Amino acid sequence: MRKKISAYWACQLGGWFFYGLTMLFFSFVYNQNNNPVTYIQNSTEIILSRVLISIALGILSTHILRQLIVSFKIHPPIEKNKWWILTILIIFICALYSLANSAIVEWLRLYNPKLRASFQRRSVMNFLGDSPIIIVWTSIYFVWHYVEATRKSEVEKVRLESLVKELELKTIKSHINPHFIFNALNSIRALVDENPQRARTAITELSNILRSSMQAEKVEMAPFERELNIVKDYLALEQIRFEDRLKVEYDIDDDTLDQPVPPMMLQTLVENAIKHGVSKHVNGGTIKIISDFKDNHHELIVLNSGKLNGQRNEEGFGIIGTQNRLNLLYGVKAHFELNDINGNMVEAKVIIPVKAIS
């Protein structure tokens, strides 16, 4: 913040002193060519004093203008309904500058008595002569801030892209879960003699999950149908482990199958439901997956038996990671909720914008 203020005041002082030097130069040339005697005897101190007054009032007036611009939150790109506010502010500052300049000149009698103009005439001439410099100052101010905003936007875009990639990598790593793989392999080993056909199917399901986890790094979005199939394979393997303790239900609107969703996000929610819900109960529980359109949004819901018990504030990747991914990919257009339902169910709800499918 200190650097910004220093840069602002450096430009402010430097710009107005340069303007003052320009005024001195042209005054010197004009007076020397038209009336050198009068210039030498009467005008030097008057011109210098008036230039210094113009510089001081210019710095003060434009600083007031800047404060008003900040107060009215006028920043590039300027909204249509704020153009008239900016116009009024510029006119007000130009009038203030010219009136104050004329009043001080009149009060200190910084004029040649033989060439004295009335206060009203001097004010109008100052307004017409000094308004362009205020307008130029305003233009430079907004051009500067526009360039700064554009640069910051590009930096922020690069930063967000980097965060998205990092988060996606964490997502992938989180789903190559050693405990799940070991449990799945143990379940498959138990089936080899008991049910060879189911064991072969389970191996295929595990292979599909691992393949999808590895491929998720290459895509930013994936069709919901593909993500649902991964979850079905995952739940099929978990049903081998939990047997009758795990009941799975689906309520899927077929029209949502083509909708793009973040890869492995649904898998995260289902894993979270198994880990913190079904596995915590001796009698197991139910997992229900719902996908539907509501209010022009794609609504994904994972229901599981159990209670939150403080899970809402958990620092685990499942909850925090899902919210962060939605924020990075959709901003305020997406929403994630985790709530108790009817005292014996937990609802994880994801609401994301609907994307038109061509």
Tokens describing residue 87: 């116009």
> Is 309 strand, coil or helix?
coil
Residue 170's pLDDT is what?
59
Please tell me the total number of residues recorded for the chain in this structure: 358
Domain spanning 176-353, CATH class: alpha beta
Residue appearing with tokens 């795990």: 246
Residue 356's pLDDT is what?
64
Residue 217's pLDDT is what?
59
For residues 295-306, give the mean pLDDT. Answer: 91
Tokens describing residue 74: 């006028």
What are the angstrom distances between the C-alpha of 275 and each of 180, 184, 288, 309? 10, 15, 15, 13
**Confidence at 315, pLDDT banded by 50, 70, 90:** very low
**Confidence at 36, pLDDT banded by 50, 70, 90:** very low
For 228-241, how does the pLDDT look when each residue is reduced to its tens digit (9 = 90+)? Answer: 998 998 898 888 88
Task: Provide the phi-psi class of 296: left if phi over 0, else alpha when psi is between -120 and 50, else beta.
Answer: left
Q: Which helix (H) or strand (E) holds 337?
A: strand 335-341
Residue 249's pLDDT is what?
94
**Confidence at 88, pLDDT banded by 50, 70, 90:** very high
Q: Is the pLDDT of residue 261 over 80?
A: yes
Residue 206's pLDDT is what?
84
Tokens describing residue 90: 């510029």
Q: Is the pLDDT of residue 28 over 80?
A: no
Q: Domain spans of the chain?
A: 2-167, 176-353
Residue 255's pLDDT is what?
92
Residue 31's pLDDT is what?
61
Q: How far apart are CA 175 and CA 263, in angstroms?
A: 11
Residue 278's pLDDT is what?
84
For 98-145, how does the pLDDT look when each residue is reduced to its tens digit (9 = 90+)? Answer: 899 888 888 887 776 666 667 788 778 878 888 888 999 999 988 888
> Is 248 strand, coil or helix?
strand
- β-strand 335-341 against 246-252: which pairing, if any? unpaired
Q: What is the mean pLDDT of the chain?
A: 81
Residue 22's pLDDT is what?
86
For residues 196-208, give the mean pLDDT. Answer: 86
**Confidence at 267, pLDDT banded by 50, 70, 90:** confident
